Amino acid sequence: NGADIAYIVFTSGSTGTPKGVQVTGMNVMALLTNMKQVFRLSPGFKASQTFDLSFDLSISDMFFTWSNGGTLCVLPELELSCPAEYIVREKIDFWHSVPTLVEFLKKLGYLRPGMYESLKYSVFCGEPLHQKTADAWMLAAPNGTVENYYGPTETTVFVSRYVYKKTESTRKFHNNIVPIGKPLTDHQMVLIDEENKVAGEKEVGEIAISGSQVSKGYLNDAEKTKSVFVYMPWDSSDSIWYKTGDMAKYNDSGDMEYISRKDNQIKIAGRRIEIGEIESILKGKIKGEDAVVVPYRNEYGIVTSLVAFVTIK
Ligand code: AMP
C-alpha cells in the first residue's frame, strides 16, 4: 500500500531528541516520477552513490538508478573524500553530492577544466551551492549540466531545481549562492510571513511546501507534526503545507534564492544539525552548567566546524 511508511529518517531535534520523519511509498514514487521527468538517461547509465543510508539523499540515487536500468556506483570510503579518480575510472554519467565534496576536490587540486568529461548531470543538494563552486565544476565537467536541488527530508529528498547556466558566473545572486529555483511538478512553494500569510512579492519569507512528496510528519510526535505540517488559511484546498524554517526571496526571473535559516539549524557537509541538540547534550554531560555552541563559517558562509563554550564550576 503506497500510503504505508517506506522509511523513517531521524534528523536532529532542537531539544536533544531526534525527529523521525515518516516517508510513505507514495512520497517516494512521486519523487521518482519527478526525477524521471528531469533526467534523460538511457539504461546502462552509471550513477554515483556518495551518501550513506542514514542520509535521505541516498534514496534518490538508489531507487532512481535501479528503476531506470542504471548501475549504482557506491564510492569506496577511501575515495569519498577525493572522488576524482573514481569519476574518471568508472565513467560516471550522473553525479550527486553535497557541494562540500567539490570544495575538497578544489583544495586538493582536482578541479581542472575538462577533467570529468563523462558527466551528463551533476546534481548538488543538501546545502547552499556557491557560484564559484558551480563555475569551477562546470569547467571541470563541460559536457553536462550543473543543477542545484533543494528540499528537506520532510518533503522527500528534494522538491525544487535550478539549472545553473554557463553565462551566469557574473550574475548577481544573493550572497553569491546559486538559486534554489522553482518547484518540481505537482508541488507548490510559497513564501510566508510569521502569521502564515503569503509574503509580499519582493519580501523575504519562510518557504512552505505542499505536494505529493510532503511526508506524513514525525513518528510518535503529533505536537511537533502539527506545528510545522499545517493547513493555510488562504488555501481552500485540503493541502498540507510543510513549514521549512528556510528563508528565501524571489529574484527577477521568478526563481527562489536561499537566504538563511530562521532558527539555529545548521549544515555540516550537508548534515542537518540543531545546535540546541548539541548544547543540551553538553549541558547534560557537565551537569547543569551552561553550554553554547557557535558555528564557524568559511568565506562562503558555509559552516565548517563548531566551537563549544561550556561553563564548569
Ligand atoms: P535535510 O533534511 O537533511 O535534507 O536538510 C534540509 C535542509 O538543508 C533544508 O531545509 C535547507 O536548510 C538545507 N538545504 C538543502 N538543500 C539546499 C540547497 N540547495 N541550498 C540551500 N540549502 C539547502
User: 102-112: per-residue pLDDT in tens?
Assistant: 998 999 999 99
pLDDT beyond 70 at 124: yes
Look at the alpha carbons of 3, 74, 127, 261 in this order and tell me if their dihedral is positive or negative.
Answer: positive
Q: What H or E segment, with its residue span, contains residue 146?
A: strand 145-150
User: Residue 263 has what pLDDT?
Assistant: 93
Q: Is 152 in the pocket of ligand 1 (CB under 6 A)?
A: yes
Determine if ligand 1 sits within 6 Å of the CB of residue 179. no
Band of the pLDDT at 275, cuts 50, 70, 90?
A: very high
Residue 285: pLDDT band by 50, 70, 90 thresholds? confident
Strands 303-310, 19-24: pairing kind: unpaired
What is the distance in A from the centroid of ligand 1 to the CA of 84? 25
Is the CB of 153 inside a 6 Å radius of any atom of ligand 1? Answer: yes
The pTM (predicted TM-score) of the whole model is: 0.95
Mean pLDDT (whole number) for 181-188: 98
pLDDT band for 250, please (50, 70, 90 cuts): very high
Rounded to the nearest 10°, the torsion over CA 162, 163, 166, 169 is 10
Q: To the nearest whole percent, how much of the chain has pLDDT over 70?
A: 99
Contact 148, 125 (CB under 8 A): yes
* Average pLDDT for 132-147: 97
> What's residue 102's pLDDT?
94
Average pLDDT along the chain: 94
Residues β-bridged to residue 175: none
Residue 14 confidence (pLDDT): 76
